[in-house]
Structure formats: structure tokens, C-alpha cells
Amino acid sequence: MQLKSYFNKSSMNFGLWGAIGAFIPEFLSEFIMNHDNSSNGFFSSFFSVSFWIGLIAIGVSISLLLKLYKSTNKKIVINKEFLFVILKQIGIGALIGGIAQIIYFIIQSFSGEFGRIICWGIAGSGLGISISKIIPNYPLNKGKYAGFIGGILGGLFFSLVSSSGIPMFGRLIGTAIIGFFIGLLISVFEQLYREAWITLKWAENEFTNISLGNKPIYIGSGAKSDIYLPLEKNYPSTTAIISFSNGKVKIDDKLSGKTTELKNGSKINLGFVELIINTKT
């Protein structure tokens, strides 16, 4: 399959949600932060940039998390687990933002704008790592590369846009572009490296995908289900579990008590959604 085929409607949508997630906190930051750090000392700049990257990280993470929930019909439950995920995204974003700022402080005297772009790549790498943790069965260790490349591309456009002479406009558009490229590349890398996945067919031209891997995919009406089925239609908390191991896809049907091996192209009709199994082998 050609690389360009991975830059499809699904990955573009993921990029769009990433852009929205980056734009909103950047817009809010314009009213609560002073983005001019030219006269600030190292520590002041360090904490300011760390906080800023943390805001962007939480915005992109929440936006992509909502996209995932929407794609699998999953309900949002504000519980300890959900809040822990959010706090972790803030922490990772702030940490990586701080590291990027330290590196930029060291190299800015001889690297100029190139150093700023590289640091956006570093920040993007951290975002890629944290976001890939909330995507079921994301290819191992690929999130950091997707985020780094996305950050570099986004940082390049950020530098071009931010030099427009209107700082606020440059930051808003530039940050949205960074969010777009990070979301886009995270989706592209997932498609590129996964071995098996489920296509959810909601309507004739409405499809979403969820990767298979080490983590079994739970189907049911429970809060922890990866693919949510309506409780009002009497689906149990765990209706079925789809797993992928040693190149084989299996479904453990909790209603019948049977475990069945599924092949590439196998279809499971759940009434309002059809599940289609896909494998690369």
C-alpha cells in the first residue's frame, strides 16, 4: 500500500481535531499569559513556556480523546480514571515543554529559528508519547516519532506564520497547525504500523477504525468498553471481547460462551453498526 493512501479522510479528521485542540487553549492563553518572554529571565521563561505547552498538550489530548470516543460511540464518564489521564497529559506536556525550553535556551545563540523548530519537534515528541497512550493498541514507541515529525512540520509553519507581524494571529494559526500535524501524523503512523484492526461501519459512507494488538477490545454497554453498545437495547456490560495474538484474531462471545477465530474480511453485524475484521497478513 502506498504511503499517500494513509493520508486519508480518517487521518485528516484526526489532524483537524488536533488543530482544534491546540487552537482553543492558545486562544485562552492570550488573555491569561504574557507571551513576550524577551525581557524575562531563564526561570520565568521556563515556567511560562512549560505552562503554555502544558495547556496545548491538554487541549490536543482532550480533543483527540473526544474524537476517539465519538468514533467508537463511547460515552464520556468523568471518573478518577478519566481525570488521571487528563492530569497525566498536563504533566507530560509541561515537562516536555520545559525540556524543550532548556534546550532552546542553550542553543538559541547559534541556532536561531532552526533551534526553535527543533524544539517544537521535541515538544511534539512528548505530545506524541502521551497521546499514543490513550489510543488502544497504538504501535509500540511510534508515537514519539509521529509527534516529533508533526512538531517539526508544525514548527516550520509556525515560524512562517508568526513572522507575519501580528504576534497573536501568528501564535493562534501556528499553534493550530502544530496540533493538526501532530494529530495527522499520529493517525498516519497508526495505520502504517498496525497489523490488524476493526472497521466500524455506521452507515453506507461512515467508517471508523480501531486497532487490534496486545490490549483486547471490549464491546458492550460498560463504561470501560472500547466499542460502546446501548444499555437501553439490553446489551450487557461486556458483550464480547476481540483479541489479536500470534497473528490470529479471535472473538470471545459472552452471550453464547463461544470463542471463534476471525479471518480477514469477517463481518459481525450488531444491528446499528457492522464490525469488519482487517489483517495485513
Task: Point out the domain boundary residue: 193, 208, 229.
Answer: 193
Q: How far is CA 63 from each of CA 17, 86, 100, 164, rounded to the nearest angstrom? A: 6, 11, 23, 28
Same domain assignment for residues 239 and 250: yes
Same domain assignment for residues 239 and 210: yes
Give the pLDDT of residue 164. 65
Task: Point out the domain boundary residue: 193, 219, 251.
Answer: 193
Same domain assignment for residues 174 and 246: no
Same domain assignment for residues 140 and 33: yes
HEC readout, the chain: CCHHHHCCHHHHHHHHHHHHHHHHHHHHHHHHCCCCCCCCCHHHHHHHHHHHHHHHHHHHHHHHHHHHHHHCCCCCCCCHHHHHHHHHHHHHHHHHHHHHHHHHHHHHHHHCHHHHHHHHHHHHHHHHHHHHCCCCCCCCCCHHHHHHHHHHHHHHHHHHHHCCCCHHHHHHHHHHHHHHHHHHHHHHHHHHHCCEEEEEEEECCEEEEEEECCCCEEEECCCCCCEECCHHHCCCCCCEEEEEECCEEEEEECCCCEEEEECCCCEEECCCCEEEEEECC
pTM recorded for the entire structure: 0.83
Number of domains in the chain: 2
Same domain assignment for residues 182 and 255: no
Digit-by-digit pLDDT tens for the chain (281 residues) are: 567 788 888 899 999 999 999 999 999 988 887 766 555 666 777 777 777 877 887 888 889 888 988 888 777 777 777 777 777 777 776 777 778 778 877 887 777 778 888 888 888 888 888 778 778 888 878 888 888 888 888 888 878 877 666 677 778 888 898 889 989 998 999 998 999 999 999 888 888 899 999 999 999 988 788 888 888 888 899 999 999 999 999 999 998 899 999 999 999 988 778 999 999 87
> Rounded to whole angstroms, how far apart are CA atoms 92 and 50?
10
Same domain assignment for residues 153 and 252: no
Same domain assignment for residues 43 and 26: yes
Task: Point out the domain boundary residue: 193, 210, 240.
Answer: 193
Same domain assignment for residues 66 and 186: yes
Same domain assignment for residues 164 and 267: no
Same domain assignment for residues 117 and 227: no
Give the pLDDT of residue 252. 95
Same domain assignment for residues 9 and 127: yes
Helices 42-71 & 9-32, crossing angle to 10 degrees? Answer: 140
Looking up cell 492530569, which residue turns up? 87
Give the pLDDT of residue 211. 93
**Domain hosting residue 245, numbered range:** 196-279
> Rounded to whole angstroms, how far apart are CA atoms 96 and 93?
5
